[in-house]
């Protein structure tokens, strides 16, 4: 070996291969240089990787406790939706048009955490009349923070409202996603060999079956899940029907307790086995399986009239009333009926509550209440325009 060649070998950057954590870099002259990541510089002191992992996990803990707001897709945030989908699913949906995304209505939501867009979901009704999850995803740095669960729970709630089974496809190599959906009640019905355009092309077809005969459903306290987080306790609404009242003694007992507590002296002789006959629409609100409020509506004078609505005092201002009222409004929208109710003249808190939800004063009756006689305002929310 000549002296000149020996000098070149001597100056050649040394390569380290003792650790799987080695990183490739380049010096100022473009030569490849390998650096070995230290496992721990001093005994008992965490390595760089351990410090980074600790910081990431701390951030995730903070995010899990942060409220997740689901916002509607409109013309102002369509490009936010496009950026999210292009980032979460690079090269998969980049050619899709977004000019009509603002027309998705309830079939699309953007998830915001601390004001930052972090995820999205888009659904559609497929050819088999199922609610199909077309896109659902969270930015990589915000995964494992409960945001995906909030998005999926929104879709499940939507499926329960419109009484549609929920379906989606999961790429064959995405095992963690498949486990996530199975934990949330989805089951695999078939395997499609050639579903995706890029490898791997196989996909699992998963379905969550939604009961069409009453039962339980989870809703938020204010329409679009503001304040919902992975750690929060959702409000559960139980439908009051002839079938589930007669079958479930628990439902009948819950309704009896609520009505006799909130309206003492009014239902002492009522037969709660026929509770479903009180109105055309009834829901019991529960938190942690405990009944905390209820609403009863009936058709009257061509409208949906709220006969009774009440929440236990200790659960007021917790979104329970909003959840019950929103569900009644959704029902009125389905049956295409305006909504009415009476509010005591002196109950300014209730008046402000209904006004916040779009009700307006349309009349007054001086002797609506008895023992003692009290006046009441008639409030109306227009559904049919």
The Cβ of residue 304 has, within 10 Å, a number of other Cβ atoms equal to 25
Query: Do the Cβ atoms of 251 and 244 come closer than 8 Å?
Result: yes
Q: Are residues 174 and 301 in the same domain?
A: no
Q: Are residues 76 and 155 in the same domain?
A: yes
What is the CATH number for 278?
3.40.630.30
Q: Are residues 221 and 204 in the same domain?
A: no
Q: Are residues 159 and 82 in the same domain?
A: yes
Q: For residue 14, what pLDDT is reported?
A: 37
Q: For residue 277, what pLDDT is reported?
A: 58
Q: Are residues 44 and 14 in the same domain?
A: yes
Q: Tokens representing 48?
A: 């760089």
Q: For residue 278, what pLDDT is reported?
A: 59
Name the catalytic one among 107, 132, 354, 379.
Answer: 132
Q: For residue 380, what pLDDT is reported?
A: 95
Q: For residue 281, what pLDDT is reported?
A: 76
Q: Are residues 361 and 236 in the same domain?
A: yes
pLDDT in tens, 129-153: 999 999 999 998 888 888 898 999 9
In a domain, 156, yes or no: yes
Q: Are residues 220 and 363 in the same domain?
A: yes
Query: Do the Cβ atoms of 323 and 219 come closer than 8 Å?
Result: yes
Query: Do the Cβ atoms of 39 and 20 come closer than 8 Å?
Result: no
Q: For residue 43, what pLDDT is reported?
A: 56
- C-alpha 89/C-alpha 198 separation (Å) is 12
Q: For residue 131, what pLDDT is reported?
A: 95
Last residue of a domain, one of 208, 238, 261: 208
Q: Are residues 200 and 71 in the same domain?
A: yes
Name the catalytic one among 34, 93, 102, 169.
Answer: 169
Q: For residue 210, what pLDDT is reported?
A: 81
In a domain, 277, yes or no: yes
In a domain, 282, yes or no: yes
Q: Are residues 194 and 341 in the same domain?
A: no
The angle formed by the CA atoms of residues 68, 286 and 247, to the nearest 5 degrees, is 135
The predicted model scores a pTM of 0.44
> In the annotation, is 357 catalytic?
no
Low-confidence ranges of the chain (pLDDT < 50): 9-10, 12-41, 213-233, 245-248
Q: For residue 4, what pLDDT is reported?
A: 59
- C-alpha 251/C-alpha 260 separation (Å) is 14
pLDDT in tens, 91-125: 776 556 677 888 899 999 999 887 789 999 999 99
In a domain, 62, yes or no: no
Q: Are residues 94 and 151 in the same domain?
A: yes
Counting the structural domains of the chain, the total is: 3
Domain range for 34 is 3-57
> In the annotation, is 132 catalytic?
yes
Q: Are residues 74 and 202 in the same domain?
A: yes
Q: For residue 46, what pLDDT is reported?
A: 65
Q: For residue 253, what pLDDT is reported?
A: 66
- C-alpha 382/C-alpha 175 separation (Å) is 48
Q: Are residues 44 and 98 in the same domain?
A: no
Question: How many angstroms separate the first and last alpha carbons of the chain?
Answer: 94
Last residue of a domain, one of 19, 39, 57: 57
Q: For residue 76, what pLDDT is reported?
A: 87
Q: For residue 224, what pLDDT is reported?
A: 35
Last residue of a domain, one of 156, 175, 208: 208
């Amino acid at each position: 070996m000549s002296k000149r060649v020996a000098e070149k070998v001597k100056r050649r950057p040394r390569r380290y291969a003792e650790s799987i954590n080695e990183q490739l870099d380049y010096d100022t002259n473009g030569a490849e240089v390998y650096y070995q990541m230290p496992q721990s510089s001093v005994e008992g002191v965490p390595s760089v990787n351990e410090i980074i992992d600790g910081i990431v996990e701390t951030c995730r803990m903070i995010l899990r406790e942060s409220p997740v707001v689901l916002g509607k897709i409109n013309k102002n945030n369509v490009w936010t939706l496009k950026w999210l989908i292009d980032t979460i699913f690079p090269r998969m949906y980049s050619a899709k048009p977004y000019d009509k995304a603002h027309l998705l209505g309830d079939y699309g939501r953007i998830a915001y955490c601390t004001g930052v867009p972090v995820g999205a979901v888009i659904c559609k009704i497929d050819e088999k009349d199922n609610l199909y999850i077309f896109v659902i995803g969270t930015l990589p740095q915000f995964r494992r923070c409960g945001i995906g669960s909030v998005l999926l729970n929104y879709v499940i709630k939507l499926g329960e409202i419109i009484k549609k089974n929920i379906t989606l496809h999961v790429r064959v190599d995405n095992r963690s996603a498949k486990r996530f959906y199975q934990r949330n009640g989805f089951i695999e019905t078939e395997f499609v060999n050639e579903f995706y355009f890029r490898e791997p092309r196989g996909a699992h077809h998963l379905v969550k079956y939604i009961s069409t005969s009453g039962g339980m459903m989870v809703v938020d306290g204010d329409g679009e899940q503001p304040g919902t987080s992975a750690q929060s306790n959702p409000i559960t609404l139980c439908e009051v029907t002839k079938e589930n009242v007669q079958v479930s003694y628990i439902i009948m007992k819950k309704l009896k307790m609520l009505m006799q507590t909130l309206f003492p002296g009014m239902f002492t002789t009522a037969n709660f086995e026929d509770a479903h006959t009180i109105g055309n629409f009834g829901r019991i609100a529960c938190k942690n399986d405990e009944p905390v409020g209820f609403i009863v509506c009936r058709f009257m004078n061509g409208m949906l009239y709220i006969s009774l609505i009440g929440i236990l005092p200790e659960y007021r201002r917790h979104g329970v009333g909003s959840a019950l009222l929103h569900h009644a409004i959704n029902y009125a929208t389905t049956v295409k009926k305006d909504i009415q109710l009476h509010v005591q003249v002196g109950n300014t808190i209730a008046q402000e509550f209904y006004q916040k939800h779009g009700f307006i004063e349309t009349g007054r009756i001086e002797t609506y209440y008895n023992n003692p006689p009290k006046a009441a305002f008639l409030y109306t929310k227009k559904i049919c325009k």
